[in-house]
């Protein structure tokens, strides 16, 4: 395993939170790996994918809630702020949380790729590492660029030890603590 190089943050978390509070509604900001990043506002297909997943989760796990656009404190020692496309948590567990929630109780985090220039680094690398470092048990990446679903699990040492990549249309098993099976055939409709 390659040692991770620590980078000097571009600003403090407090400075980032102040900047984010004053950003226009058309911009979503994140603080990942010590850098401010702009997250694309969801397009129609991303919203449809979210609704498809929401419906599946409600049918298969009515005891859980899938919340969209959730701010999370990620990376070791709270140095990061990621806005997940969705988080799956037990009902009522976000009560009383502010804009940036701790990751305790988050069972699964979901990212749906954007069609922008920094999707590869942000969605496929940096956020996966941040979610693993935060100890989130399952990370589901819906990758519209290569029409695949990646299930990451078993976080350890800032990385997920296991990842399974399957094409849209496959049956995807989401492991403990989520324990659901998804038929991803409908995702083919929203690939572009």
| Within-domain flag for 27 | no
Could you tell me the pTM of the whole model? Answer: 0.77
What CA–CA distance (Å, rounded) separates 73 from 66? 17
What does the pLDDT look like over 34-92, one tens digit per residue? 666 665 555 668 889 999 999 999 999 999 999 998 888 886 644 678 888 999 999 98
Q: What is the CATH number of the domain that holds 181?
A: 3.90.1570.10
* Residue 94 banded pLDDT, cuts 50, 70, 90: confident
Burial 113-133 (b: 16+ CB within 10 A, else e): bbeeeebeebbeebbbbbbbb
pLDDT of 142-189, one tens digit each? 998 889 999 999 999 889 999 999 999 999 999 999 999 999 999 999
Residue 173: inside a domain: yes
**Structural domains in the chain (count):** 1
Query: Is residue 28, in this structure, part of any structural domain at all?
Result: no
Residue at 7 is within a domain:
no
Q: What is the pLDDT of residue 156?
A: 93
Tell me whether residue 6 is in a domain.
no
Parent domain of 182: 42-190
């Amino acid at each position: 395993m390659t040692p991770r190089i620590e980078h000097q943050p571009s600003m403090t978390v407090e400075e980032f939170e102040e900047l984010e509070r004053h950003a226009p509604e058309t911009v979503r900001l994140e603080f990942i790996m010590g850098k401010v990043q702009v997250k694309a506002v969801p397009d129609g297909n991303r919203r449809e994918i979210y609704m498809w997943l929401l419906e599946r989760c409600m049918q298969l796990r009515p005891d859980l809630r899938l919340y969209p656009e959730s701010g999370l404190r990620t990376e070791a020692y709270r140095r990061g702020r990621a806005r997940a496309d969705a988080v799956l948590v037990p009902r009522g567990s976000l009560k009383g949380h502010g804009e940036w929630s701790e990751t305790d109780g988050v069972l699964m985090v979901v990212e749906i790729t954007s069609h922008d220039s920094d999707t590869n680094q942000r969605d496929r690398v940096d956020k996966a590492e941040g979610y693993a470092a935060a100890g989130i048990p399952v990370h589901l990446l819906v990758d519209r660029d290569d029409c695949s679903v990646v299930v990451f699990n078993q976080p350890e040492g800032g990385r997920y030890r296991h990842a399974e990549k399957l094409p849209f249309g496959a049956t995807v098993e989401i492991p403990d603590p989520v324990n659901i099976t998804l038929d991803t055939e409908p995702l083919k409709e929203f690939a572009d």
